[in-house]
Amino acid sequence: MKAEVLKGHLDALLLAILENGAQHGYAIRDALKVSSGGRFDLPSGTIYPALYRLERAGLIAGRWTLVGERRQRRTYVLTAAGRQALAHHRASWQEFATAVSAVLLQEGTCPATA
């Protein structure tokens, strides 16, 4: 699935991935791919700008961690504001999905317009 399809939903998906605990960027990318059954295999060039945006907004917090003796990586964790934003995204998505399903899944039962 192309990144354009996720426009407007990527932030919520990343917040949901981080709900399970702190992860570094590549692990977040991999978790998104695995949890979507391989449908969301996004390039790092899509994931990292979104993570930076979420961090600037205070929805996630990042910190540098040491891996091995010399290598560092940025690890991200959901903040309290991020948890609230995720709850809002979930509620909005449920409302949207319910409305879309009501329209798409009704088979020829639309009332005639006069």
Structural domain contains residue 10: yes
pLDDT in tens, 7-27: 789 999 999 999 999 999 999
Structural domain contains residue 22: yes
DSSP for 9-61 reads: THHHHHHHHHTT--EEHHHHHHHHHHHTTTS----HHHHHHHHHHHHHTTSEE
Domain coverage including residue 12: 3-100
Structural domain contains residue 114: no
Number of folded domains in the chain?
Answer: 1
46 vs 15: CA distance, rounded Å: 15
Question: What integer pLDDT is reported at residue 110 of this predicted model?
Answer: 60
pLDDT in tens, 85-113: 999 999 999 998 999 999 999 876 666 65
Structural domain contains residue 110: no
Q: What is the CATH number of the domain that holds 16?
A: 1.10.10.10
